[in-house]
Chains A and B, each alone.
Chain A
Amino acid sequence: MAKTADQYFDDLRETRVWRSIFRSGTGSSTLRRALAIQQNVFLHLFSTKVRTRMLSFSATWYLGTLTLGTFFILVATGIPLMLYYHPSVPQAYHDTKDLQFVVSSGLFLRNLHRWSAHAMVFLVFAHMFKVFYRGAYRTPREFNWVIGVILLLITLLLSYTGYLLPWDQLAYWAITVGSNIASAVPLIGDKIHFLLLGGSSVNANALLRFYVLHCMILPLAAIFFVAIHFWRIRKDGGLYAHSSEPAAVRSRSRAKKKEATING
């Protein structure tokens, strides 16, 4: 009988090279499956087990997973885009034009990067509201919620800094309007505006600063906080499941029923 893909994969996991890299061997015992998560530097952020109930679509709508997916796509498309992009005026615009019309698949990569960025902002917002309406920010998950708020801000900043990079009319005026809001901060507003743009108006310095923020500082910050975000899910007891909270939280009517049981 021909081997199935599963068996080939198991064979691969049994080899010395694989085991030397991933530290976990083959086998489908609970122990082996737990080790596969726990012994991997990336996967060990997650817990080895998940409540079966939390796998249903309605529990999370997979919004966190999908947000991570958009982040992967953005990294995978952003790095190739950097290969054809010079953050200087007006070369940035011509490079974007080249990506649009000259470079093979450049148009597609830019489209994918841009639409994924919009999708990520949308998904982060959706994730936040979903978490709120499920009450998943409650003790002991308060701090993970705060990290989530930080990640929301980082996502907005990532998208905002990326908005300037094509150096077209759309980019230039959106950033001009947006950065002038910073000037409205009392007392230190003009200083913030000056530091953000590296000058008193949107020009070559601002483009370079936004480029460095967009490609280096903000992605690193995002990765840092995402790692904590995932790790805290495990440390705080896994994905929030409704019934692990006090009955009174679940719904008023059920709590009433239980109180009636006790009283009666």
Chain B
Amino acid sequence: MVDLSLLQDFLAETVEYLEEMKESLLRLEADPVNRTILDDIFRSVHTIKGAAEYLGIERISELSRTIEDLLYHQLHRSKVNVTPEVIDLLSAGRERISQLTENLTQTQKEQVEIDDLVERIRVVDTTSHISAEVDRVAANEDDVELSPATADQMPSLGDDEVEETDEELFTIFLEQMEEHLTDLQTQIVVLNDLDKDEQITTLDLCLSRIEPLRASANYMGYNQLTAFYDNWKKDIKTARERLCADEDGVIAPFISNCMEANITTLGNRFPRLQISEAPAQVNIDTSATTETKERTRVDEVPDILSNPAAGDDNTDQSRDILEEYADAETSPDTSTTAVSSKDNGSDAGLFEQLSWSFDSRIKQNAAKTTDDNLTEIESELFSAATPEKAKPETIATVADIPGVDEKKTAAPESIIQPVTDDFEEENDVELFTIFKEQLEEELSHLQAQVKAFKESDNETRIEILNSCRERVDRLCSSANYMGYSQLTASYEAWLNEIATAQIRLDMREETFIPAFIRECMQARITATAKSFLGITVPVPDQDYSDPVPDTESDAAEIPVADAIADTETTSGLKSDSATEKSDSTSQTEERQLSISDPSMLPDFIAETREHLEEMEENLLLLDANSGKRETLDDVFRSIHTIKGAAEYLGVERIARLTHNLENLLYQLRQNKLTVSREITALLMAGWDRISMLTRDLEQTQTEQAEIDDLLERILIIDDSSQADPATTATAALKSENETLLQGTDRRNPNQDPRRQGDQVNEKTIKQSIRVDAGKIDALMNQVGELVVSRAGFTQLLNEMRDLQIDLKQRFKLDTREIRHLNNMTARLHEATTLFDKVTNELQEEVMKVRMLPISQLFNRYPRLVFDLVRDTGKKVQLDIHGAETELDKMVIEEISDPLIHIIRNAVDHGIETTAERLKKGKPETGNIRLKAYHEGNHVVIEIIDDGRGLDFNSIKKKALAGKFVSQKELEQMSQHELTGLIMKPGFSTADSVTHISGRGVGMDVVRKNLEKLNGTIEIDTTPGVAMRFRIKIPLTLAIIPALRVKVSSELFTIPLSTVEETLRVPIDKISTIEGAEVMSFRESTLPLVRMSDLFNLQDGSVDLEQSFIVVVSTGMKRMGLVVDDLLGQEEVVIKPLADYIQEKSGFSGATILGDGRISLILDVYELINLSIKRNIKK
């Protein structure tokens, strides 16, 4: 059920994001190319989606998901401007979400329909894919129509960045070419008018011009350009021969057909190259570049076709070109390894496109070339482009590389994500389950066949490959049926690879087999399996019973590394060293960047924390109610949500860990395992590890904590429970998982109207806003200033009264004369009172804003106790009272550590073992009570345990041994004072240091932290029976009530929380013991400190007969401060002093008085220490 309180937050948040989105949309309209704006919108939508999904708000989540998809596609096509249509749709979507939000606020139901809009968005989304393709194709090749095949291609052909080959080099190359071509052009112009001999010389000259061009083309690695030049040269030579042979009418057609055509071709091509390749360096869209190159090369076909002389080797050439194409594709692909993983499957598509454009080219050319030529050439070309002849060859070259590339699919951050996204979209669970089952089955078979493939001979291999092909084909068609276009494309590429392999086998090639198995078959199987989480396929050469996908991913990672090495060598061969260098950097970058969108990390971390918190509670509950179904479900859900988000963002370890934990939980839910201590401990360990990883992420943006040990442990338990074959279990998990989640997703209000109605009656939604904590702090500061000025007003009023009395007495003014003044004073008094009241209320309200229930803190401790008890023979029950008590957020943070120490001590030292307790006649289970309540301006936290209490004998012994006190002092000490000893740094009663406690640091930390808070601690103990810690802390840190005192001419402020009493003592009551002044106070001796001595100030006391004494206490120690005058009590605003002044100075800060003067606030604890030090020195 939707949690109402969460719903409120959600609504508030959503409204916020919608607002942001609205702004972004407006900006986007003005600036459709700005990707940052798109990113902003994407982020807003994504957050809404996440929250809506989490809460099970169906329509909003579906709608936002659709929008997100649309945005995703928009985002990943940098070249395409956002069309007004898309912006309209986004606005409409935003509007609809906003309506739904309103519905929710008013009726807790989603009422507005969304299907129409979702439909519209999907249509636009798909068409925009196509139109994107159109745009791209059109940009590269103006005169070619769109191939329908492109629509099936990947939505994103990669916007990754790749350094193009040396630009400078290229420029030089172009310059050279320009020069030579111009030269050639001039030669040609004159060629016709010359006589034969001259013509031959000119042709020779032309040849000599073309030769360097060819050389530099060769140098640049443009093989096919080189070939072109070669042909050209050949043509010229032929022409020259024919000229020499005195053939007539040679030169005219030669000029127009060969020379001019060739030059134009080059001229046409290279300006385009310059245009299309140069942007590629900026825009760095590899795939586009690849395509551009392809196109350029394709362009050549007609050029060559238009050259009749070259017509003879048309077939050869086109085959060459196809090979070139393969090369061309190879080199950018290898140079961008990671990029091409996104291109997964596009190879096939590209090829198709290519042959298609061949086709269209030829058709256009048909207009120019002779009719008879056309059919022949076309058919030849077709045959070149169809699998029969040329394709196998071409693909043979291509195949190695795609084979390598596909493995990248195994890298978790690339294709898998979009694929899974697709799957989550799937509504028909049944269909999906069937699909998955089939997939799993086929994959397992494939895996088995791969294994067989390795060991069999060539003949059988071909057979095996055939059957593999069949299977993949089947998978392909079902993926197609399901509409998973990416998957289909990937399968198609796979099919091609298999086909190639078959051909190579036919040709008795054997060397490629290991690589083929590893890089193509296995990688693909793993990748596919991995993209469907929960599908497991046995991994060859590994334990068959090992069902866990992360071993698979390990297996997949190794080939990735290999692949990178491979591709590096290939690219090293094909490109010059500069390219190679940039390639390898781009690769490493790609690999390091495992987190897909760092900007989403903070959200992820915050969300994960929330889920973890929830999970912790449930885990403890799980332990207590030994695995109640609902609790298990809750834990499951938390884990699953974290997993989903982690996978989405590519936070690998968390994803893997949660995935395994999820498996474990599934076993529990299936009753294949029962909840035992061991398992809860394991789950908690998992919890810890996730928290650790989350922290790592927060601090370093990377995951640092290792998880393998934990995975191992989970596996062992998991394995032991596996009665069924692993595959079915996990498959079932997946479907079960789906249903469960569907169940949560479908918490449609309409399905459960009764319950919903009840809730509406129970509680109307409260409005809440989320405010930056800094703003509240600023507000608090301002209120602080107000408090200061209030003091100023009060002082003003007092002065006014003094003046009034003065006037009355000194100038003997009568009542009538002074009436005006009296009036004035009265009004001032009234105003001050009102001001006072308002200020008080304001202060209170602002303070309330900062208040949080202490349950935030208390909720952490059950887990702590659970952990502490686990390894001991103890049973401990933690009772919590008053968790609703509110406290300043800052105080809560500060008090956390001290409480942990006290509770640890209670468990470790206080509570006895079960056996011991029974012997003593105590109940078996020890009890620790955590209690919080308000007491005036303070909050009291009590920690009471019924353990053995303090052992005073032991304390005495330790105190002597540790030289904390002398024997003599010890004898004089009261029980109270003895208790105080445990707060000393380094003091510990534990005989041995355990992993939990015993180093004597704990209580010291407690004391220090409390000092910081102006809090006090009291310890009561009944040896053998109980122990009580009583912590008293002010509600807030910023404003405290305090006592103002005067010493010499200075004013000091003492926090009232530390003041026990103020006394006025006749001087003769003060006696001196060993040079230190003391007085008798309530039947004990109270040490006295003269503040003027302590601070080296002049003794300013007026009354020599009596002294003012402020009795201060830190809970454990008490002391009398001798001051010159008491000035009264006041609320003061604490202002910090510069750290170098404040530390160990005896002051905890300063405050500004009503008249603008500064008064230092005493740090009573430090003061007591200081005076003790002085006394010791004396």
Q: Do A and B come from one complex?
A: no
Partner-A contacts on B (CB < 8 A): none
